[in-house]
Amino acid sequence: MIAPVSILGYADLGRLMDLQLGDEKHTPSATSTLDVIWVLYDRVLRVAPERTTDPDRDRFLLSKGHGPMAYYAVLAAKGFMDVDTLRSFGRYDSPLGHHPDRNLVAGIEISSGSLGHGLGLAVGLCLGLRARQSPARVFCLVGDAELEEGSNHEAIAYAGRTGLDRLVCVVVDNRSSSLGWPGGLRSRFAIEGWSTATVDGRDHDGLERAFKAEHPRRPHAVVAEVEPKS
């Protein structure tokens, strides 16, 4: 397995975010995910720019695709794209749209932005990887408000009952949900048989421990609680 190698560090991410100019950036949505995505790519995911087509690579699915600035910044820091590409964010001729496009940017696994699709896709991907006995893991990032979509109810129930232990759902909870969940977001997964953890979404060591926790024969949900940065 090839571990990811830092091209730029966490301290560079603010500068990389600032390179992405223009309107309609959904900045709070992006900044709330920045630490989670960084820890995944820096410490957890078995991915690298040279293995974007490796069938046994880990997969990261950004279901919360309407705020991709943080995702683009981390991909640039890790060498998946040239840093100067960030300057073109949102232009009509740019590969970096307001929603990520898997056909335009190396390393992006799904085109997303229509909320409620990512976790269902992650479940299907895990089933395919299981069928061919791949060691690859699937990490899917969703927002707390996105969990109000009915498709996520089905995905959570199915994954728990079929024991998809290669699946990790990361819920970035910035308290934007209008309905909430009795007992908190963690209970929503636990009742369907998932392994669960709640962690400070800015605590890199805590995030790493939560992502790497053992969860045999069960999918794993990590609720990352954050105060969105302006």
CATH number, domain containing residue 220: 3.40.50.970
Range of the domain at 68: 10-225
Alpha-carbon separation of residue 113 from 29, 37, 85, 100, 210 (angstroms): 12, 16, 21, 7, 26
Lowest mean pLDDT, pick from 45-54, 92-101, 217-226: 92-101
| Three-class secondary structure assignment of 47-116 | CCHHHCCCCCCCEEEECCCCCCHHHHHHHHHCCCCCHHHHHHCCCCCCCCCCCCCCCCCCCCCCCCCCCC
Asked whether residue 67 is domain-assigned, the answer is: yes
Encode pLDDT of 141-174 as tens digits: 999 988 888 899 999 999 999 999 999 999 999 8
Residue 52 lies in a domain: yes
pLDDT at 2: 39
Tell me whether residue 5 is in a domain. no
Residue 210 lies in a domain: yes
Q: How many domains does the chain have?
A: 1
The pLDDT of residue 1 is 36
Confidence of residue 3 (pLDDT cuts 50, 70, 90): very low
Percent of all residues in the chain with a pLDDT value above 70, rounded to a whole number: 93
101 part of a folded domain: yes
Please check whether residue 203 lies inside any domain of the structure.
yes
Examine residue 4 and state whether it is found in any structural domain, yes or no: no
Task: Give the mean pLDDT of 37-63.
Answer: 96
pLDDT tens-digit readout, 75-130: 999 999 999 999 999 888 899 988 899 999 999 999 987 788 999 999 999 999 99
Kindly state whether residue 2 falls inside one of the protein's structural domains: no
Q: What rounded mean pLDDT belongs to the chain?
A: 90
Query: So what's the pLDDT on residue 29?
Result: 76
